[in-house]
Structure 1
Amino acid sequence: MKLPIIFFVGFFSCLPLYGQKTLEKLLEKYHQNTIPYLYVDSLAKHYNKFVLLDSRTPKEYQVSHLENAIFIGYHSFSLDSVIQKIPDKDTELVVYCSLGMRSEKIANKLKQAGYIHVNNLYGGIFQWKNNNLPVYNNQNKKTDSIHAFSKSWSKWLKNGIKVYE
């Protein structure tokens, strides 16, 4: 009698652990391994070396973005617009979004267009904010607000004020 109870308790106590994924596992699932990651700590140390490109929606960008990031969008992405803003294809680029999936797709387009040094920010703006690094609003003032993209993705944002609209 004790064995089935121990099994039952042991089995169901492990279920919550099984359902939780790490950020690493999530990104592993969606990452295509076509664009190298740049990790938050590396970007923070060498920030001025890179041109940052925000590949989220206009609403997400307006809530907050990395300092001096250029909005390039995702659905509204225009390669011609990027080429006009950044004609030197040897420029060190870092593309980011919320977590890194949309930015990888945009980074691939930049790579195919001949940009040589294209990186994808590991964990995106969520990981940046989770490391207590600053983000800026539309008036270029520091803010704690981050557009959380969706309720399901927002679980990956541990720091800051989650905004959904």
Structure 2
Amino acid sequence: MFGLLSFSQKGTGQDKISKALSSWNQGTIPYVYFDNLPTNDSIAFLDTREKEEFEVSHLRNAIWVGYKKFDEQLVLETLPDKTQPIIVYCSIGVRSEDIGEKLKDLGYTKILNLYGGIFDWKNKGGQVFNDKEIQTDSVHAFSKHWGKLLHEGIKVY
């Protein structure tokens, strides 16, 4: 399943998210795109944002692992199979690359970074859920600066 994905940036051009990712990321964790996400229920979505961000909005059934308070032991206990397919995400894909690298260091072997993070997800019509697992239009926009990349939904800071 993971081997069949295309990691090219088809049709995205040099938009603002592309520019931000190319300047902040090293490309160490391959991207997966909203338009070609695998539909396998066994994929673990890991939210690498801060807890406040996760509580406002996250992908359905995502597991919060944090960024500044990333807990390696929690991940190892929650996902003991290191061949478990994992998609990491954050606001646009910068923090998630950092956590993806930490997962790789822990021995996980099937890690993808959601291109454009939750912002691109919402911009393209993806559903997000609040801390009660109820669908919401609110999206934590991280900051006024980064929030400019979120074009759909209600921005929460």
Superposition TM-score, scaled by structure 2 size:
0.88
User: How large is the Cα RMSD of the aligned pairs?
Assistant: 1.3
Q: Distance in 2 between matches of 1:73 and 1:22?
A: 25
**Unpaired runs of 5+ in structure 2?**
1-13
**Structure with the largest fraction of helix:** 1
Deviation at 1:29, TM superposition (A): 0.8
* Cross-structure match for 2:124: 131
Q: Distance in 1 between matches of 2:17 and 2:47?
A: 20
Structure 1 residue 154 corresponds to structure 2 residue 153: no
Q: Distance in 2 between matches of 1:49 and 1:131?
A: 23
Paired letter, 1:50: I
Judged with a 3 Å threshold, the aligned counterparts in structure 2 of structure 1 residues 22 and 47 are, in CA distance, closer, same or farther, namely farther
Q: Distance in 1 between matches of 2:18 and 2:155?
A: 21
* Larger Rg over CA atoms: 1
Deviation at 1:21, TM superposition (A): 5.7
Paired letter, 1:24: S
Structure 1 residue 81 corresponds to structure 2 residue 70: no
Paired letter, 2:68: H
Judged with a 3 Å threshold, the aligned counterparts in structure 2 of structure 1 residues 122 and 21 are, in CA distance, closer, same or farther, namely closer
- Which secondary structure does the structure 1 equivalent of 2:143 belong to? coil
Superposition TM-score, scaled by structure 1 size:
0.84
Confirm or deny: 8 A CA contact 2:42 2:84 kept in the other structure. Answer: no
- Deviation string 1:78-105 (CA, Å, 9 cap, x unpaired) is 1111000000000000000001110000
Deviating beyond 6 angstroms after TM superposition, the runs of 4 or more aligned structure 1 residues are none
Give the number of aligned pairs: 144
Structure 1 residue 36 corresponds to structure 2 residue 30: yes
- Which residue, out of 17, 25, 45, partners 1:23? 17
- Which secondary structure does the structure 2 equivalent of 1:156 belong to? coil
- Which residue, out of 60, 66, 75, partners 1:67? 60
Deviation at 1:26, TM superposition (A): 1.4
